[in-house]
Structure 1
Amino acid sequence: MGLVSALALTACGGGSGSGAPSAPSTSTAPSADTVSPSATGAAAGIQGSWITTAGGKIVALVISGQRAGIFMTGGTMCNGTVGAAKGTQKIHLTCAGGAKDRTTGTVDSVDGTTLKVTWSGRTGQESYTKAEGGKLPSGLPRR
């Protein structure tokens, strides 16, 4: 499934800030699973592509360096940053269309396969599974 690969590449793209999409790069971009030099210590543990389901939709959280993005089937897209605040990892996102469910998240825990984030919106806590090699993790509900 190329879903995770496509989502990861979208999350890594930079924007001009003008709202216009940036031109595709002709260079080979690192995958979201590659740890950026700026991602060290606790931040290195949350790097990569993470998948969950919510309301029958796939939610992909992609973290690369200090950049983060969420992509949901159905079109919701959010992007922003990851950083430490008062000893915890925080995710700050801005969503197209003004969605507020996943704009500020606190990383509760992370291990090699599971990332738990509590969002300040009505979403609450979500548990994500690590997506390796551009493939969806096993065990996701299928429609």
Structure 2
Amino acid sequence: MTSATARVRSAALAAGVAGALALTGCSGGDSKDGSSSSPSATTAPTSSTGTPGVTGASAELQGSWITTAGGKIVALVIDGKKAGVFATGGTVCSGTAGTEAGMRMIHLTCTDGSKDRVTGMVDSVDDKAMKVTWSGKLGQETYTRAEGGKLPSGLPTQLKQ
């Protein structure tokens, strides 16, 4: 395995782990009595119109999904109604995923203020791939399911540094 491949895999796995920790509300700094001294990383999105009426995401959306965009690995993690996006380079977004007016929607807020993946509509999903159309300039992205902490096959082995 080349060092570039190893870096790509390490970055993707780190993003997935960070995503899982953020979505489950795990954080460091637990005190002796088991209470946490730091806030959870999950934050509901805020908007001037309030939080949309999102219900639980369907079972087929659940899990870790990976894509590449702009030379970066992007991990989309959905756990229950919680959703998060984690990209190499430091982008971290969290929010909700669920059914809204009969459509499967994802609503996120990014810590760096990015607006690339704020509102997404799931166009299609099966056991291997999910297509999400994001509002704004990104448009449609196709994600591949990552099973058991392993990267899906077919990812590029070299990304822009």
TM-score (norm 1): 0.78
| Equivalent residue in structure 2 for 1:125, among 136, 140, 146 | 140
| Equivalent residue in structure 2 for 1:22, among 17, 39, 46 | 39
**What aligned pairs does 1:71-90 form with structure 2 within 5 A after superposition?**
71-90=86-105
The alpha carbon displacement at 1:6 in A equals 3.7
Partner of 1:106: 121
In structure 2, the gaps of 5 or more residues are 1-9, 28-36, 42-54
Q: Deviations over 1:20-73 (max 9, x none)?
A: 94379xxxxxxxxxxxxx85xx71100000000001100000000000000000
Q: What SS class does the counterpart of residue 98 from structure 1 fall into? A: coil
The aligned amino acid for 1:129 is T
TM-score (norm 2): 0.70
Q: Percent identity?
A: 60
Structure 1 pair 90/23, CA: closer, same or farther in 2 (3 Å)? Answer: closer
**Do 2:22 and 2:40's aligned partners in 1 also have CA atoms closer than 8 Å?**
no
- Distance across 1 between alignment mates of 2:26 and 2:58: 20
The size of the alignment, in residue pairs, is 124
RMSD: 2.3
- Structure showing greater radius of gyration is 2
- Distance across 2 between alignment mates of 1:62 and 1:23: 16
In structure 1, the gaps of 5 or more residues are 25-37
